Amino acid sequence: MKAGLVPAAAYKYMTARETPAICERLHPARLLPRAVTAAGALLSAVALEPAVSGHGWVELAVWLITGWFFLSLARAVLDRFSTYLVVTRWRIFLCSGSGVTWTASLADVKDIRVIRSPAGRIAGFGTLILDPAHVAIDYVPYPEQMYVEMLGLIHPDPPELD
């Protein structure tokens, strides 16, 4: 990947000598948990409305908590546009609007696994597990390509097999 193709949100966290091999946004499916919570909260609030109406601050609390869940969802949606998974020749990191939220040296990653759920196979995302730290990165898009590329970076010269 050419440096010029890397979004500025990720490029600003890279040193001059770093060449990005992978730079991808995480899959939109990562918004699902917050969407489920917000939808469930709204359903509960609307359903409970006749029971809590007139109960002053209980009614207010129900709607405030529901609003909070929606704010949380909105924040996650905005975060998605500035969150990138970046892999260079010597490190892997996640960056977002708030900075570099996680980083690991590629030298510390001895192996990598990929897991795909049924919905992940349909929608095109998966989970990469970095060993031996057992760190899982969920909602990775194009997980097979990512797996192969990252494996190539971790083991540039694999042993010849007969």
Partner 1 sequence: MLRRVKRSTTLALVLSPVGVLLLAVVRLLIVSDYDENTALAIVHSGGYVNTLLGSVIPLVPILMPYLALLLLYLGQTVAALLALAATVLISPATVTGTAALSIARHDWDAIGGGDGRRHALLIILAAAFGLLLLAELAGSGLRVSARSVGTAAVVALVPPVVFLYPVTVGNSSTYTGLLTQPWLPAESITLATHRVVTGYVLDSDQDWTEVLLAGNRTVARYRTGQVVARAACQVAGAGQRRPLLPLIAARSRLPACVTAPPP
Residues near partner 1 (CB under 8 A): 26, 29-30, 32-48, 50-52, 55, 58, 61-62, 65-66, 69, 83, 94, 101-102, 117-120, 122-123, 125, 129, 134-139
For partner 1, the closer CB: 71 or 119: 119
Question: Cβ 84 to partner 1, closest distance in Å?
Answer: 12
What is d(CA 55, CA 49) in angstroms, rounded to the nearest whole number? 10
Question: Cβ 94 to partner 1, closest distance in Å?
Answer: 6
Question: Cβ 147 to partner 1, closest distance in Å?
Answer: 16
Specify the pairing of strand 111-115 against strand 125-131: antiparallel
For partner 1, the closer CB: 32 or 77: 32
Question: Cβ 83 to partner 1, closest distance in Å?
Answer: 8
Specify the pairing of strand 20-25 against strand 135-141: unpaired
Residue whose structure tokens are 């494996």? 151
What is d(CA 109, CA 151) in angstroms, rounded to the nearest whole number? 10
Give the CA radius of gyration of the chain: 21
The sign of the dihedral angle between the CA atoms of 2, 120, 108, 156 is negative
What is d(CA 26, CA 24) in angstroms, rounded to the nearest whole number? 6
For partner 1, the closer CB: 19 or 97: 97
For partner 1, the closer CB: 19 or 121: 121
Question: Cβ 2 to partner 1, closest distance in Å?
Answer: 26
H-helix or E-strand spanning residue 139: strand 135-141
For partner 1, the closer CB: 101 or 145: 101
